[in-house]
Amino acid sequence: MNSAWHDIIQRHIAGTTTAEEAIGLEAALTADAGLRTLYLDYMNLDVALGALADAADHVLAPQKQRSSRWLTWRPLAAAAACVALLLSGARLFSRKPPSTRPDLAAAFASTEQAIAHLPAPPLAPLPEWMSPTAAMLDPAGLRPLKF
């Protein structure tokens, strides 16, 4: 088989043959069975490649849309979350712990010193009738009651 037929068949499928080449190809196809088989193989290959190209276009299109959405807001949200965590952690670790209670020993010592330096004389003990247990005493003789 002539190798020129391969070139003519490919150009015929692409639509770039001249009118004389197309008429010559049709006449050769009716006369030669081997050339018809070659022509059908080229046609099957062209149809299969076209279908594969269409399928690839449909498969690649959604992936491009998904990646473009990913590139717009998710990295920005992740970066904002990282910055917020870093700032809150820095604020937490930079604080001084608050004092939980005042120093009671120092407060008592200063109060005792202030009382000791008062100009008033020390108080006398309470009279017996003012004691908290005075109600338990005998009113006549101020003796304890017996129960």
Instruction: Tell me what pLDDT residue 108 has.
Output: 76
- Residue 69 included in any domain: yes
- Residue 76 included in any domain: yes
Instruction: Tell me what pLDDT residue 111 has.
Output: 79
The Cα-based distances of 11 to 3, 8, 39 in angstroms read: 13, 5, 12
Domain tally, the chain: 1
pTM value is 0.39
Which residue is it, tokens 């998904």? 66
**144: β partners:** 137
- Residue 44 included in any domain: yes
Give the chain's end-to-end CA distance (angstroms, integer): 143
Instruction: Tell me what pLDDT residue 87 has.
Output: 86
Q: What is the pLDDT along the chain (147 residues), one digit of tens a residue?
A: 677 888 888 888 888 989 999 999 899 989 988 888 988 898 888 888 888 887 776 665 555 555 555 567 777 788 888 888 888 887 777 766 666 666 777 777 887 787 777 776 656 666 665 666 666 655 565 555 555
Instruction: Tell me what pLDDT residue 141 has.
Output: 54
- Residue 75 included in any domain: yes
Instruction: Tell me what pLDDT residue 77 has.
Output: 83
- Residue 146 included in any domain: no
Domain, as residue range, for 13: 4-81
- Residue 61 included in any domain: yes
- Residue 102 included in any domain: no
Instruction: Tell me what pLDDT residue 60 has.
Output: 57
Instruction: Tell me what pLDDT residue 88 has.
Output: 84
- Residue 56 included in any domain: yes
Rounded Cα distance between 39 and 6, Å, is 8
The sign of the dihedral angle between the CA atoms of 24, 27, 32, 34 is positive
Instruction: Tell me what pLDDT residue 133 has.
Output: 65
**137: β partners:** 144
